[in-house]
């Protein structure tokens, strides 16, 4: 028994030591600022690519002044002030400190950062790009705004537990170019995997909030926002398999394309980030995404639409569609692309989770106003005139008409989205 006890103690010590090593390790890379070019302008472009303002600017607040509440299943995080104010911002941070945050997920004082800050993606950013971003943030007007403490549930409020999370799910490492791929593909991979942090929304997460390597960019619910982020892999049913590169470029640049229209959280990404990127970078991202293989896709739950109850619901949905939807989306569900998307054959309305079409019917929405589409067409909200049962009926009809095939929707699925939480 003593030997067994000693063995278990040694094993525990080894596990703890390994966890501490992998959870606290960090890379050290010497600053390599570019010798030419406008460092601040380059940093501004990269900050746009990373959509830093989206989290670090509260609604109505000063740019990058922090304070925006980010609600998650673990509690509410408050984004910090990243202006160069020395007391409340990052004015005292060196380029090394900034790099340590992006690359190693550690603050200036060595404090482990929560991965709501997407350093598992930002770790791929090169030191040169990190230094350019630091130069840009240091050039901003300082904003004095004291950071708020996070309001997290136990045990997630215990920051020391991040050591275990990092040991399991985080390895620092700059993006390494793939020699068998061309420069355009590698540039796209660098932007998508790193600053673009596309996997933060488009990859399913486990119960501890870590993304799945097996389903990378395979689509999934965004727990903090209550939207479904579509697959960006090569699958033809719900991903980008049938999209052309130019369709993707158009969507990222203007918010609309011949194949679809962005809505929900993606509208903000296009408005604040993607539309400002160079066409060459957008094309590189599209080329990379189009090259991704098909992900493993769970079988969709499809209900029998011939049951008496389903027939009743679909008949109600058809009458509501005729009354409220047909003028724009047409009787054959063809819409008027690119501004009014087709519903027939639209895989976005047939996803396993019906949350996005439910939200669209309930609350309407507009694509972002962009330079390429300054006055976008929008969809009015119908939640104020339709009951939960009626919303469920019309969404069920759209998901099961014109050759579409999706599960029926219930009022119980609709009701949680009757209220909208802005922040």
Task: Give residue 8's pLDDT.
Answer: 45
Task: Give residue 219's pLDDT.
Answer: 87
What is the torsional sign of CA 402, 404, 407, 413?
negative
pTM: 0.87
Phi, psi of 229 (to 5 degrees): -95, 125
* Nearest CA among 361, 349, 351 for reference residue 418: 361
Q: Are 276 and 253 in contact (CB under 8 A)?
A: no
- Could you tell me the pLDDT band of residue 320, with boundaries at 50, 70 and 90? very high
Question: Which neighbouring-strand residues pair with 7?
Answer: none
Read off the pLDDT of residues 289-309 as tens digits, 9 standing for 90 and up: 999 987 555 555 556 677 889
Residues 280-284: contacts with CB within 8 Å, 24+ apart?
Answer: 280/184, 280/187, 281/49, 281/187, 281/188, 281/191, 282/248, 282/249, 282/252, 282/253, 283/184, 283/188, 283/245, 283/249, 284/184, 284/185, 284/187, 284/188, 284/191
Angle 323-326-330 from CA coordinates, rounded to 5°: 165
Residue 423 has pLDDT above 90, yes or no: no
Residue 256 has pLDDT above 50, yes or no: yes
Helix (H, G, I), strand (E, B), or coil: what is residue 389?
helix
Tell me which residue has tokens 């709501």: 116
Read off the pLDDT of residues 72-115 as tens digits, 9 standing for 90 and up: 999 999 999 999 999 999 999 999 999 999 999 999 989 999 99
Q: Which H or E run includes 256?
A: strand 256-257
Strands 69-72 and 227-229: unpaired
Task: Give residue 3's pLDDT.
Answer: 57
């Amino acid at each position: 028994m003593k030997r067994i006890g000693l063995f278990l103690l040694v094993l525990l010590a080894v596990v703890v030591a390994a966890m501490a090593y992998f959870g606290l390790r960090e890379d050290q890379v010497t600053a390599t600022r570019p010798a030419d070019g406008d460092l601040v302008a380059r940093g501004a472009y990269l900050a746009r690519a990373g959509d830093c303002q989206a989290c670090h600017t509260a609604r109505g607040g000063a740019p990058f002044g922090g304070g925006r509440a980010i609600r998650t299943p673990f509690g509410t995080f408050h984004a910090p002030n990243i202006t160069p104010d020395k007391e409340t911002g990052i004015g005292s941070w060196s380029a090394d400190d900034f790099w340590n945050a992006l690359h190693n997920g550690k603050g200036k004082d060595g404090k482990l950062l929560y991965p709501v800050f997407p350093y598992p993606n930002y770790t791929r950013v090169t030191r040169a790009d990190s230094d350019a971003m630091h130069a840009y943030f240091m050039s901003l007007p300082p904003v004095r705004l004291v950071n708020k403490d996070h309001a997290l549930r136990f045990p997630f409020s215990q920051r020391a537990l991040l050591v275990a999370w990092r040991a399991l799910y985080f390895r620092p490492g700059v993006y390494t170019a793939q020699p068998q791929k061309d420069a355009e593909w590698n540039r796209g991979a660098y932007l998508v995997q790193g600053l673009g942090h596309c996997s933060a929304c488009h990859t399913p997460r486990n119960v501890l909030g870590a993304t799945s390597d097996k389903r990378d960019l395979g689509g999934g619910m965004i727990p903090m926002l209550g939207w479904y982020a579509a697959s960006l892999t090569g699958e033809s049913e719900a991903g980008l398999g049938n999209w052309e590169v130019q369709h993707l470029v158009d969507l990222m640049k203007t918010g609309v394309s011949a194949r679809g229209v962005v809505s929900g959280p993606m509208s903000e990404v296009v408005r604040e980030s993607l539309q400002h990127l160079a066409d060459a970078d957008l094309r590189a991202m599209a080329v990379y995404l189009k090259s991704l293989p098909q992900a493993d896709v769970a079988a969709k739950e499809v209900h029998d639409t011939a049951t008496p109850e389903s027939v009743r619901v679909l008949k109600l949905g058809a009458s509501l569609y005729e009354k409220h939807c047909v003028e724009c989306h047409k009787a054959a569900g063809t819409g008027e692309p690119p501004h009014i998307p087709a519903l027939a054959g639209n895989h976005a309305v047939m996803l396993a989770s019906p949350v996005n079409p439910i939200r669209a019917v309930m609350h309407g929405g507009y694509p972002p106003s962009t330079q390429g589409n300054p006055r976008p067409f929008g969809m009015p909200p119908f939640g104020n005139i339709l009951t939960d049962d009626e919303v469920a009926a019309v969404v069920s009809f759209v998901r099961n008409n014109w050759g579409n095939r999706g599960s029926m929707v219930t009022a119980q699925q609709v009701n949680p989205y009757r209220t909208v939480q802005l922040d």
